Amino acid sequence: QDESHKLLMPLMFERKANDAANNGEYYTAVLNIANAIRTKHPLERSREEMVKYANKLWTDTENEWNKMNGTTGWQSEVGKTLLPSYTLLAQLKDIDKTIGQISGMNMIDNASKKMEGIQLVQLAGDEANKKGQTSLYNALHYYGQAASRGVVDKAGFSNVASLVIKEA
């Protein structure tokens, strides 16, 4: 019974992934196909599906990012809506190391940079809201680190830079 359960588990995850993808729910599809691979799915098909679903999730998330980035209040909205997708993509290698070895999975590193950049912008915003020169310098540092990862908050950076200049 345990053996049959072990054999069925990857197929159940794959079916859930396919159902989710058919409904356009690529986050759920990627999560389930990653679990199918983690439970040692024997078929190459699951790796092909991983590439297809992960690329679709990456593209959809990037398109939403491009619409949202720079709009009023984007930082909190991105944290709720897009950060989970970037985080899942960034952590696929942690679910199973073989996922990172699949050809076509180069979005993992890009998602990792984007995830870190968003988190750094959030940290910068938190620091900017604190009092004191040290917090302003920390905020500038975090904005710079975020920018080096491709996430730029022009308004936040400009505001903090102006405050630093006023204090100088």
Q: Are residues 6 and 80 in the same domain?
A: yes
Q: Are residues 65 and 96 in the same domain?
A: yes
Q: Are residues 117 and 101 in the same domain?
A: no
Q: How many residues does the chain have?
A: 168
State CA 71 to chain mean position distance: 19
Residue 46 confidence class, pLDDT cut points 50, 70, 90 = confident
pTM above the 0.95 mark?
Answer: no
Q: Are residues 42 and 83 in the same domain?
A: yes
Q: Are residues 119 and 77 in the same domain?
A: no
Q: Are residues 60 and 130 in the same domain?
A: no
Annotate 42-82 with DSSP letters as a single string.
Answer: --HHHHHHHHHHHHHHHHHHHHHHHHHTTSTTHHHHHHHHT
Q: Are residues 88 and 128 in the same domain?
A: no
Domain count, the chain: 2
Q: How many CA atoms lie within 13 A of 100 on its CB side?
A: 14
Q: For residues 13 and 33, is the Cβ–Cβ distance under 8 A?
A: yes
Q: For residues 26 and 43, is the Cβ–Cβ distance under 8 A?
A: no
Exposed e or buried b per residue across 43-71, where buried means at least 16 C-beta atoms within 10 angstroms of its C-beta: eeebbebbbbbbbebbeebbeebeeebee
> Is it the case that residue 39 has pLDDT exceeding 90?
no
Q: For residues 95 and 38, is the Cβ–Cβ distance under 8 A?
A: yes
State CA 62 to chain mean position distance: 10
Q: Are residues 45 and 18 in the same domain?
A: yes
> Is it the case that residue 42 has pLDDT exceeding 70?
no
Q: Are residues 130 and 154 in the same domain?
A: yes
Q: Are residues 29 and 76 in the same domain?
A: yes
Q: What is the pLDDT of residue 98?
A: 85
The domain of 10 spans 1-105
Identify the domain boundary among 73, 105, 137. Answer: 105
Please give the DSSP secondary-structure letter assigned to residue 168: -
Neighbours of 78 (CB within 10 A): 21
Structure tokens at 72: 């009023």
Residue-wise pLDDT for 51-94, tens only, equals 999 999 999 999 999 999 888 888 888 988 999 999 999 999 99
Q: Are residues 3 and 73 in the same domain?
A: yes
Q: What is the pLDDT of residue 113?
A: 96
Structure tokens at 98: 């073989």
Q: For residues 86 and 114, is the Cβ–Cβ distance under 8 A?
A: yes
Identify the domain boundary among 72, 105, 138. Answer: 105
Q: Are residues 89 and 128 in the same domain?
A: no
Residue-wise pLDDT for 100-131, tens only, equals 888 999 999 999 999 999 999 999 999 999 98
Identify the domain boundary among 56, 71, 105. Answer: 105
Q: What is the pLDDT of residue 4?
A: 79
